[in-house]
Amino acid sequence: MDCVDFIDYRQWLTLQSKLVWYQPSRLAQGRVSCTNNYDVICYFTKGKAKTFNLNDIRVPQLVELEHRLRCERVPSVRNGKYGKTVFHPDGKNPGDVWGDIKQLTYKSKELVSREMLNTIQKPERLMERLIKANSNPGDLVFDPFCGAGTVPVVCVRLDRRFVACEINSDYCRIAEERMAKAAIGGESSENLFGFSTAGKDGKPAASQACLV
């Protein structure tokens, strides 16, 4: 957060939003100060954001439907500035504070190692929402610090191409194993890192996946 708040990045990047991943159930409890119960996710783009798939990441309304509809029928609301903001049957915008995605625990099925808990490995649901919101099927996703391979795993499931980097050889092995399992039922694990022969323009197409 310090680098985001105190370095002038505006000539190179645009900060679209700061997302707060709220985790009230963290096990560590502070004794001399307030416990940190959130992580900050900064969303930067080069210029204006080109993709935001709201309908793919809607969450349930917290307000009762009947109460919301009564409010929408009030003339001052219907004819006012926010008159076009109406109830959506598929849910609402998740906002910039996400408290509905729980952190991993020792009992989480997707946790691959205890040493990665709350440090390296993030929940697949968290990565899934970020990727769904800001990319489309077939887009290329780059993860420069892929750790246990959560982003590549989610990309395989969501039909996104990816390039991922990881310096730790043990983490690379874990990531490759997870990606192979994720590919079962769709693309075979043998072809996960294979190049297709030709793209739409007849030229060699980019690989479906690449772990460096």
Report the predicted TM-score, pTM, of the whole model to 2 decimal places.
0.77
Q: Are residues 86 and 146 in the same domain?
A: no
What one-letter code names the amino acid at 207?
S
Quote the tokens at residue 144.
């420069």
Residue 177 lies inside a defined structural domain of this protein: yes
Alpha-carbon radius of gyration of the chain:
21
Q: Are residues 140 and 199 in the same domain?
A: yes
Residue 191 lies inside a defined structural domain of this protein: yes
Residue 162 contacts residue 141 (beta carbons within 8 Å): yes
Residue 172 lies inside a defined structural domain of this protein: yes
Residue 119 lies inside a defined structural domain of this protein: no
DSSP H or E segment with residue 5: helix 2-6
State the total domains in the chain: 2
Domain that holds residue 163: 135-212
Residue 196 contacts residue 181 (beta carbons within 8 Å): no
The CATH number assigned to the domain holding 171 equals 3.40.50.150
C-alpha closest to that of 36 among 48, 49, 23, 45: 23
- DSSP-derived letter for residue 127 is H
Residue with tokens 């793209």: 199
Residue 151 contacts residue 141 (beta carbons within 8 Å): yes
Digitized pLDDT (tens) for each residue of the chain, 212 residues in all: 555 666 788 888 888 999 999 987 776 677 888 888 899 999 999 888 899 999 999 998 776 666 666 666 777 666 766 666 667 778 889 999 999 999 888 889 999 988 888 788 999 999 999 999 999 999 999 999 999 999 999 999 999 999 999 999 999 999 999 988 888 754 433 344 443 434 445 544 444 455 66
Residue 152 lies inside a defined structural domain of this protein: yes
